[in-house]
Amino acid sequence: MQLAPVYPLLYRVLHPLFPKCLWHGATEQKTIALTFDDGPHPQYTPKLLAVLDRYQIEASFFWLGVCVQRNPELANEVFQRGHGIGLHGYTHQSFPRLSTDELKQSLLNTQNAIADACQIDGHLIRDVRPPNGLFMPRQLRQLDQWGYRVVMWTVVPEDWVCPGISVVEERTLAQVNSGAIIVLHDGYYGGKDVAAITANLIPQLLDQGYQFVSVNEFWQQRQLTKPRN
């Protein structure tokens, strides 16, 4: 059973319940964020980078630590091109299945892999997207205590089940709106179509007047609109 029709409903339910997570950017501005999970992948990510370069689009990548360790030069290439980097765990294990120590170590190992590959301070990588979008309230509190920021989503076209390029494109265009965070995948699942999907989506969204921004810019928008005491 495909869950793509359910995700917009989940978004509407979960967003108000967990307001500390970043679910979207400013809805009064016609900006959207392209995000990619599960990479970097040695075949799929370079093709995706070529598409982003062609349109000069800044995206945000949420990496698995094990994939960074396998492809350090590619990880560094993504970083050097100015794309945003976040954590997706060391392997694709749902956070609720991990103990507190296992979760902390998974994120630390991923930060260390990024630090080694990109020659940066891994602790500067603070954005986390839970695999499968799953978490428990206790884990949100822990992530906040450890200094991480949880990034979720607005548009989830379920590309990882490979329903076809046109299907993912149609689902995305039907759900997108101002401030949307779009989730696609450049890893083992879904990655074979990601460059073609992205190449089809970007010009259509640009024609609709959208501007592509990083997840970090959405955090900055949120800080500016935060009510003052």
Which pLDDT score, from 0 to 100, does residue 12 have? Answer: 75
Asked if residue 134 lies in contact with residue 96, where contact means CB atoms within 8 angstroms, the answer is: yes
Low-confidence ranges of the chain (pLDDT < 70): 1-7, 9, 226-229
Set 37, 38, 159, 186: catalytic member: 37
Residue 210: count of CB within 10 angstroms of its CB: 19
Where are the alpha helices (H) located in 128-193, listed in sequence order? Answer: 137-145, 165-175
| 37 DSSP β-pair partners | 62, 185
Which pLDDT score, from 0 to 100, does residue 229 have? Answer: 46
Among this protein's residues, is 185 annotated catalytic? yes
| Domain residue ranges of the chain, discontinuous segments joined by + | 21-223
* Bridging pattern class, strands 60-63 and 31-37: parallel
Which pLDDT score, from 0 to 100, does residue 182 have? Answer: 97
Which pLDDT score, from 0 to 100, does residue 56 have? Answer: 97
Among this protein's residues, is 24 annotated catalytic? no
Set 41, 185, 186, 193: catalytic member: 185
Which pLDDT score, from 0 to 100, does residue 120 have? Answer: 96
- What value, to the nearest 5°, has the Cα angle with vertex 82 and ends 178 and 196? 60
Which pLDDT score, from 0 to 100, does residue 191 have? Answer: 96
For the domain spanning 21-223, the CATH number is 3.20.20.370
**Distance (Å, whole) CA 36 – CA 159:** 11
Which pLDDT score, from 0 to 100, does residue 223 have? Answer: 83
Which pLDDT score, from 0 to 100, does residue 65 have? Answer: 98
| 128 DSSP β-pair partners | 87, 150
